[in-house]
A and B are shown apart, each in its own frame.
Chain A
Amino acid sequence: MNNAVIKAAGYILVHTQDMIMHNGTTQTVEKRVNPDSEYLKAVPNHLRSYEEVINYAPNQVYIGNMTPEALGQMEKPWVGQDVPNASRYGKFGEIMPQEDFIMMIKNADVFDLVMLEENFVAQYLEAYKSHELITEEEINRIGKGQKLEDIQTAVAAHGEAIYHNNQLVGCVKKAHDVDPNLNAHVMFENLVVKASGVLAFKHLIAKNNINVEDIDYVIECSEEACGDMNQRGGGNFAKAIAEAVGAVNATGSDLRGFCAAPTHALISAASLVKAGTYKNVVIVAGGATAKLGMNGKDHVKKEMPIIEDVLGGFAVLVSANDGVNPVIRTEYVGRHTVGTGSSPQAVIQALITMPLDLAGLKITDIDKYSVEMQNPDITKPAGAGDVPEANYKMIAALGVKRGEMERSDLKEFGEKHGMQGWAPTQGHIPSGVPYLGFAIDDMTTGSVNRAMIVGKGSLFLGRMTNLFDGVSVILERNPGKVQESGSISKEEVNKMIAEAMRDFAKHLLAE
């Protein structure tokens, strides 16, 4: 049977400087419990400019302008070092400024919930019009904007305010009088996920010459939930995003699993394609405003800028085998099961060595491990360490324990088989999938033959179980042979012969 391939990938960031203070939970909770805090007073002095966000190396890697290898050559911390030739647009997508994104939130709204202030629209609509991925129909739907007094009235009536450069420039109204799941705050977060997912999807399509009408199915894998009081989390962001990008032949569904969801979605998409159910499946996710400035207190304490100032989004096209692009080996999947246990060794065995054993491979046979690619500039000052590095150390330790590598190779393992983390701490965004775009190059024209994508999720945050979760899958360089449907692969023939031999041996033993 033919395995699915990673056909193309789109990645976007959105600089959301005002949303840090008004929508990031670290800041909104502080406003509630300690409104006069020194931290809140310090936040405005620790915000980066759009140019600084563009020039930041991990952000340039995220949109494909720099490789993970080039990032690995740079001294850490990366914050404060400007990258030469940095650009808003990259091979995979873009870093959008807040003013354009506020327009996109308006475009994501199909229930007349978003109000934009007339002067804001007058000031920024021309720039928005020049964006090559924004359609005329979308521009027309922005309208002329509304009076500031009307927006102030709507905010007073439980609307969620939208700010730009400290000015009130819009609002998201509540979508129901009493339903808490349709209140203005939830609608704002959901419209942000939808809008950033749409932006990633648009880049995926435009940059890879894909006919959007060829998309059969969309799996959305962020961490928000849309629904009303009778079905909280009923969905469906996937179809809403598909509609917004003109994927008229697609339906879809939302897949949830905290930060592990994108890897679950990748495995599901690849399985659907391999089974022949669909030919082209897009996995997509938008970003989370709640996580903006999540570790801001530590960053401010250490005299750093608040670098959790971007939303992340991605879209990846999984398609039928084309004989070229990296193959998703869904036969070789690792998973943390209910019975796995929680010791670090058990977790690494379930996620790393389970798929390797299925494939008959050693730990060192995987050229690149893409774990949670959290940016250490963000996590180290907050005391959470260097997450990818910690993962590589544990994988290497298991390699030594299995006798597959020497103890003396421990130090080099991360450099050789790993990468520095470049993704913002947006939960599901860093989890394994940031490498998929680079994997296409590395595994077609580059020297990587095998990679493993690993996603982990903190299920216990939902208070339904104490468990966490994780899944992984192996990607391989495409051997270039596309099997005709109905024929039997060499592996299947080998398996059938092996089974026949075993049966024969059993007979002999019985006699």
Chain B
Amino acid sequence: MNILENKKVIIIGDRDGVPGQAIEECVKTVASAEVVFSATECFV
């Protein structure tokens, strides 16, 4: 079972690491997971 199944997901991505949009694409592969918030932040 995938850890994201039936979960609501909050995504904080990092521009210099893995951006929010890229994480979002991965989460979308789990049909029952719902992205409720996704953002990319700049820490520099």
Contacts and interface: CB of A to CB of B under 8 A. Distances in A.
B18 A458 contact: no
B44 A430 contact: yes
Interface string A31-68: 00000000000000000000000000000000000000
B1 interface: no
Contacts of B17: 344, 385, 390
Contacts of B16: 372, 384-385, 387, 390-391, 456
A425 B19 CA distance: 20
Given A342-B21, A342-B22, A343-B22, A387 B15 contact: no
A362 B17 CA distance: 24
Count class of interface residues, chain A:
20 to 34
Contacts, number: 51
Q: Main SS of the interface on chain A?
A: loop
Interface in B2-44: 14-22, 25, 40, 42-44
Contact of A374 (B14, B21, B40, B44): B44
Interface in A401-436: 425, 427, 430
A468 interface: yes
A2 B10 CA distance: 51
B44 A468 contact: no
A466 interface: yes
Contact of A344 (B18, B43, B44): B18
Contacts of A427: 44
B43 A460 contact: no
Contacts of B15: 456, 458, 460, 468
A382 interface: yes
Interface of B: 14-22, 25, 40, 42-44
Given A342-B22, A343-B18, 10 more contacts: A341-B22, A344-B17, A344-B22, A372-B16, A372-B44, A382-B43, A385-B17, A387-B44, A460-B42, A468-B15
